[in-house]
Amino acid sequence: MPIELVVPTLETGCFFGLIALALFMVKESAALFNFAVGGLAVVGGMASSAITVGHGLPLVLGVLAAVAFGVALGLCIEVLVVAPLVKPGGGEDHHVVMALVAGLFALQQIAGVAFGKSALPGATWMKGDVLDVGKFVVSAQALIEIAVTLGLFVAIGMLLRGTRLGRQFRSIGDNTQAATMLGMPVRRIRLLAFASSGLLAGLAGALFANRAGVAFTSALQFTLFGFLAFVIGGAANVWGPLAGGIGLAFLQAFAIYYFGPAALTYVTFAVAALFFALRPEGIFVKRVRA
């Protein structure tokens, strides 16, 4: 693979990784898949684009708006869609699954109505290159995107391992029924999970909107790719989503480079069929303490 594709592929990998992390937060603490993440990313991306490119305002405002929308909509999903339907034992049943998919659909339509049906361009919010060695170029923007992504993963990893809240997060997801009986703050944690899911997805949309522009129809695509990244990487630890995201991005890049643009969809389907059937727990396997 040509060297000039490495950094852009890493950027895409970080995008997938953040969406997968958004899924991870809710899966770990509420044993649910927040399928709406793609819609949250689209809203974040389009909001940020509308503010920065549309109104010429600085990126920081765009990102803040994206995060605000993400958190708000994430909470809406928990309050309006999940809480009324989820059974006390927690976890998935097909009513909740269907409702969350409908939530994705609704967010997609909201984005289309609020920000328009055509794709919004992404902005290059930082010009200049940090590294320029022959064909290997690292733009300043790419460096910041990757750095922010890594920083978020490190921070969340530390929060989950080091704080009481973080430990509650994972133990509630492991056995929601027991957690409820023990008086743990199941609802509060779930609200926090959906809020953080929205934050991460919205931020991902804002940071990476420049990659190829964002259209409201991308919501389903983002959810699918984020979901696949999550399954590939697994939920054993917080780095699984990132590994899955980068892995998926490179697989797609190889496919396009060697077999042409249509191969993106062929390979993604093949990888999904393989991983879901053979190894749904992902690359990193949770070690169960016997």
Contacting residues toward another protein, per CB under 8 A: 33, 35, 80-81, 84-85, 92, 94-95, 97-99, 101-103, 105-106, 108-110, 112-113, 117, 217, 220, 224, 227-228, 231, 260-262, 264-266, 268-269, 272-273, 276-277, 280
Q: Name the residue nearer to another protein (CB basis): 106 or 246.
A: 106
Query: How big is the CA angle at 22 (ends 71 and 113), to the nearest 5 degrees?
Result: 50
Write down the least CB distance from residue 268 to another protein, Å.
Answer: 6
Partner residues linked to 139 by β-bridges: 129
Burial bucket for residue 272 (CB in 10 Å: 0-12, 13-18, 19+) = middle
Distance of CA 162 to the CA centre of its chain: 23
DSSP of 227-261, one letter per residue? HHHHHHH-SSSTTHHHHHHHHHHHHHHHHHHHH-T
Write down the least CB distance from residue 81 to another protein, Å.
Answer: 7
Sort residue 119 into left (φ over 0), alpha (ψ -120 to 50) or beta: beta
Write down the least CB distance from residue 103 to another protein, Å.
Answer: 7
Burial bucket for residue 282 (CB in 10 Å: 0-12, 13-18, 19+) = buried
Q: Name the residue nearer to another protein (CB basis): 93 or 132.
A: 93
Q: Name the residue nearer to another protein (CB basis): 84 or 162.
A: 84
Q: Name the residue nearer to another protein (CB basis): 117 or 135.
A: 117
Q: Name the residue nearer to another protein (CB basis): 139 or 190.
A: 190
Find, among 35, 38, 14, the residue nearest to 233 by Cα.
14
Write down the least CB distance from residue 280 to another protein, Å.
Answer: 7
Write down the least CB distance from residue 245 to another protein, Å.
Answer: 16
Task: Show the tokens assigned to 147.
Answer: 């750095």
Write down the least CB distance from residue 108 to another protein, Å.
Answer: 8
Q: Are 268 and 225 in contact (CB under 8 A)?
A: yes
Write down the least CB distance from residue 117 to another protein, Å.
Answer: 7
Q: Name the residue nearer to another protein (CB basis): 199 or 231.
A: 231
Distance CA 179, CA 33 (A): 19
Q: Name the residue nearer to another protein (CB basis): 154 or 262.
A: 262
